[in-house]
Amino acid sequence: MTFRRLKDADLTGKIALVRVDFNVPMDHGAVADDTRLRSALPTIEFLTSRGARTVLLAHFDRPKGKRVPEMSLKPILAPLSALLGTSVGWADDCIGPAAQAAVADLAPGQVALLENVRYHAGEETNDPSFAAELARLGDLFVNDAFSAAHRAHASTEGIARRLPSYAGLAMERELSALDIALGSPQRPVLGIVGGSKVSTKLDLLKNLVTRLDKLAIGGGMANTFLYAQGHDVGASYCEKDLAETARNIIGLAGRNNCKLFLPIDIVVAEQMAPGAPARVRGLGEVDEHERILDAGPETVARLKRAMENSKTLVWNGPLGVFEIPPFDRGTVAAAQHAADLVRQGRLVAVAGGGDTVSALHAAGVADDLSFVSTAGGAFLEWMEGKALPGVEALKI
């Protein structure tokens, strides 16, 4: 993908409007996890070090076009100032006199944060007049919020059509990683898709089987595929009404020479509870009261071999109910093996999605893969092959 990069921007004496993702976890009005603040630092510091006046645009939660005090961005001001080592300016609105005054007060190299863009209904409707009001505040636009790039909102897409626009450093890193994974990957490429429901990942599965060399399906969605092949899944979660859809995906994979990996053994239990007695079963050996809750050891061993024979891995979704031991073993073993191969220089591994990130942290390897995206919906839509409005607006 060819997109405009920040290093190509003329920043001298300019006001840079920067869309960041500050939708951070809060606990009693305080930032509980500053990961998203830290991810924005390289772009902010790049701009300030070159003398730009930096104005930050962000949303928090879903106020639906109204001023909801509990959804103000103001609690972010102090921790952001501490991270930057300098006082960050503030405006209690993102357009109008308050925003204009905050921008006017900035000297070269200084930073201001504007209030929640979603306090205005025009943000989520991508209202042209609201986008124009935002654009009047600056000379150029920098989108550093990949996690919001799948939304055609005023602060992600509308403003980018009105100002010279560039990808921020975090956005650039994300786009480069995704291009390595699906755009122009080293082959063979292996995908792992897990999670509970086939219904939420139909577009993803249909896209991946046309683009990957191998695809492993795990988690609850694998039960639907096993059922579609005639295997008894006992009391397991299973979308039986999607059996024909699962068979169609299997056929699509075959027609596109994508080797499909489904479980060949499974871990079952009668209760989905910590420490519940678990047993390894072969396919078709599940009792009527048992639930399939994890991939079996033979399935995991085969997946490890598939990793070893691949150059690139794209991962979205756990192999089992990783939140509840002992049903985390399959996901943890696979994640640790992928991390080992990355450390050896034998594999490029890109992963993303909320459950995936949590699972990788649980396995202790979130920092060891080539790239881990926290973007959630945007990551999933990218893997589905969909155009992301916030990214499309940055293309040359």
The mean pLDDT value for 342-348 works out to 97
In percent, how much of the chain has pLDDT > 90?
87
| Mean pLDDT score, 303-320 | 97
pLDDT, tens only, 261-289: 999 999 999 999 998 999 999 998 999 99
Q: Residue 312: is its pLDDT beyond 90? A: yes
* All domains of the chain in start order, with CATH: 6-171 (3.40.50.1260), 185-383 (3.40.50.1260)
pLDDT at 1: 60
What pLDDT band is residue 291 in, cutting at 50, 70 and 90?
very high
Q: What is the pLDDT of residue 328?
A: 95
Interhelix angle 169-178/35-49, rounded to 10 degrees, is 120
Task: Choose, from 4, 14, 19, 36, the residue flagged as catalytic.
Answer: 36
* Catalytic hit among 197, 206, 211, 281: 197
Is there a contact between 94 and 115 (Cβ–Cβ < 8 Å)?
A: yes
Cβ(358)–Cβ(370) below 8 Å: no
**What does the pLDDT read at residue 221?**
94
Please, what is the Cα angle at 261 between 306 and 246, to 5 degrees? 155
pLDDT of residue 93 exceeding 70, the answer is: yes
Question: What tens digit of pLDDT does each residue of 1-56 get?
Answer: 688 999 989 998 999 999 999 999 999 889 998 989 999 999 999 999 999 999 99
Residue 227 has pLDDT above 70, yes or no: yes
Catalytic residue among 65, 109, 377, 385: 377
pLDDT at site 3: 86
Evaluate if residue 116 carries a pLDDT over 70. yes
Choose, from 354, 376, 385, 386, the residue flagged as catalytic. 354
Confidence of residue 154 (pLDDT cuts 50, 70, 90): very high
pLDDT of residue 353: 82
pTM for this structure?
Answer: 0.89
What's the pLDDT at 377?
A: 85
pLDDT band at 355 (very low <50, low <70, confident <90, very high): confident
Confidence check: pLDDT of 354 > 80: no
Compute the mean pLDDT over every residue in the chain, rounded to the nearest whole number: 95
Task: Give catalytic status of residue 377 as yes or no.
Answer: yes
Most distant pair of Cα atoms in the chain: their distance: 71
Q: Is the pLDDT of residue 171 over 90?
A: yes
Decide if 36 is catalytic.
yes
How far apart are the C-alpha atoms of 352 and 204, rounded to whole Å?
A: 13
Q: What is the pLDDT of residue 376?
A: 81
